[in-house]
Amino acid sequence: MADVPPNKLSAVAAAREIAAGRLTCEALARACLDRIEAREADVAAFSALDADSVIAKARHLDRQSSRGRLHGLPIGIKDVLDTADLPTQMGSSIYRGNQSRADSAIVAMSRAAGGLIFGKTVTCEFAGMAPRGTRNPHDLARTPGGSSSGSAAAVADFMLPLAFGTQTGGSILRPASFCGIIGYKPTYGTFSRQGLKFAAESLDTIGLFARDVEDIALFADALLGHSSLPATKLAKPRIGLCRTYLWDTKAESETRMAVEEAARRAEAAGALVSVFDLPPGFEDLSIAREVINDVERSRSLAWEWMEHRADISPQLTRSVAAGLKTPEETYIRHLRRAEELRAHFGHATASFDGLIAPAVNGEAPRGLDYAGDPALQALWTLLHVPTLALPAARGPNGMPVAIQVVGRRDEDRKMLALALWLRDEAGIQLPAVMKLSSNQRTAPQASMERGGV
């Protein structure tokens, strides 16, 4: 580990080094801050960061015995989750400088486990589709995805080992794929959402970013109080190859190749792989997700719509307006349809340990005004099942492309075990390596104020 800069250690390795006394919390924090200083002007991952406070907290942790599995590990907090010591501005001028009195539940639990809350990471406006200037660290001219833009970019750029995101459609899986890291959206409701600004209440799920599957398991373990991986590894997993009903219209060549090659490698490594087609009627998921999303966003933003409508982006305005026009009976019908499909999916996939599916359309799009298409992630979000983005290939421009590992509801441990098997036995996970040097620039510098949006 001596040859690896502390900020490039995995979370598991950093935790081990801190526990052994070979690495201090302060040294790890300073390495992360040095990386942020070198790259933040280009990547623009943070909406609020107080370096002096970070060092003071790291020194305090160094004076204590271990507080838990996250002791001293830097963590980024998506700026829709309340923090008592940093502003929660939600990517909106409406909330500039907004300071909550208390931490959200998930932040408080992270601190209790010894996590070093580093800063607030940039989110698209209200966790929606209007980006706020973060760049993809692999290519500064491309989007990092959204809405958890800053969290994914910070972890991918070795600014932090761990970060929180949220997903309403595809806001964890998509930026994880575009940035070449692991994104984990657990079963709906796994982590408490107290202190989260809702986008769509029946969809919003708090999830995790890291650079390795084992780091995700460590992070989840610390928050849930139990092991996120089974005691024994999968020996010969049963995997369904699920191209989904969007394969012909959404999946670009690099995504198709990534999914097919992952299935081929898994089979060659000993997995029992068979094609699994979503049953007829599952195409309703895409329409239902849009209706539910729009209606629930119009309700969660009722005050902002009434008092600050002019400060809401065109993208979000369209969603809220559509939700306000939707009859209640239409909304209820789609909620019921979603529940029917959730139950059906559980029965239909009972013979599998998990599925391999496309995660994104393809490489991260060029430009910073569009965070990417959520369709290939959103159908699983509505099903409330656990999913994970596993970087598996590179597209024609050298950008990372992930596959999506899908589990059954409440079977997150089995899904994580399958992802680990795909990494270790099938050799699917790409290493977290940056294409750009620390000072290479391909796009103009973003304007970003510390503590601002």
Q: What are phi and psi of 401, to 5 degrees?
A: -135, 130
**Mean pLDDT across 95-120:** 98
Question: d(Cα 422, Cα 273) in Å, to the nearest integer?
Answer: 12
Check residue 60 and give its pLDDT.
98
Q: Which of 104, 110, 147, 228 is catalytic?
A: 147
Quick one: pLDDT at residue 429? 83
Lowest mean per-residue pLDDT among 36-50, 71-85, 412-426, 429-443: 429-443
Q: How confident is the model at residue 231 (pLDDT cuts 50, 70, 90)?
A: confident
Pick the catalytic residue from 8, 78, 120, 197.
78
The domain segmentation of the chain, as residue ranges, is: 6-227+236-281+336-424
Residues 22-78: tens digit of each pLDDT: 999 999 999 999 999 999 999 999 999 999 999 999 999 999 998 999 999 999 999
pLDDT for the residue 232? 79
Indicate whether 186 pLDDT > 80. yes
pLDDT of 417 over the 80 cut: yes
User: Are 215 and 155 within 8 A, CB to CB?
Assistant: no
Catalytic choice (10, 92, 149, 171): 171
Is residue 250 scored above 70 in pLDDT? yes
Rounded to 10 deg, the angle between the 25-43 and 149-156 helix axes is 120
Lowest average pLDDT, out of 311-315, 359-363, 384-388, 427-431, goes to 427-431
- 338 band by pLDDT with thresholds 50, 70 and 90: very high
- Burial (CB count within 10 angstroms: exposed 0-12, middle 13-18, buried 19+), residue 282: middle
Question: Domain 6-227+236-281+336-424 maps to which CATH number in 3.30.420.40, 3.30.70.260, 3.40.630.30, 3.90.1300.10?
Answer: 3.90.1300.10
Give dist(CA 254, CA 401) in Å, integer.
Answer: 7
**What distance in Å separates the CA atoms of residue 257 and residue 247, rounded to the nearest whole number?**
12
Question: Is 78 a known active-site residue?
Answer: yes
For the question of residue 351 being annotated catalytic, the response is no
Let me know if 171 is a catalytic residue.
yes
Q: How much is the pLDDT for 1?
A: 59
Q: Residue 150 pLDDT more than 50? A: yes
Is the model's pLDDT at 439 over the cut of 50? no
Q: How many helices (H) and strands (E) does the chain have?
A: 15, 11
Evaluate if residue 442 carries a pLDDT over 50.
no
Mean pLDDT in residue range 209-216: 97
Of 3-7, 270-274, 312-316, the poorest mean pLDDT is in 3-7
Query: How confident is the model at residue 441, as a pLDDT?
Result: 38
pLDDT of residue 2: 64
Mean per-residue pLDDT over the chain, rounded: 94
Residue 139 has pLDDT above 80, yes or no: yes
pLDDT value for 384:
98
Mean pLDDT of 213-221: 97
354-358 and 272-275 strand pairing: unpaired
* Region 235-260 average pLDDT: 97
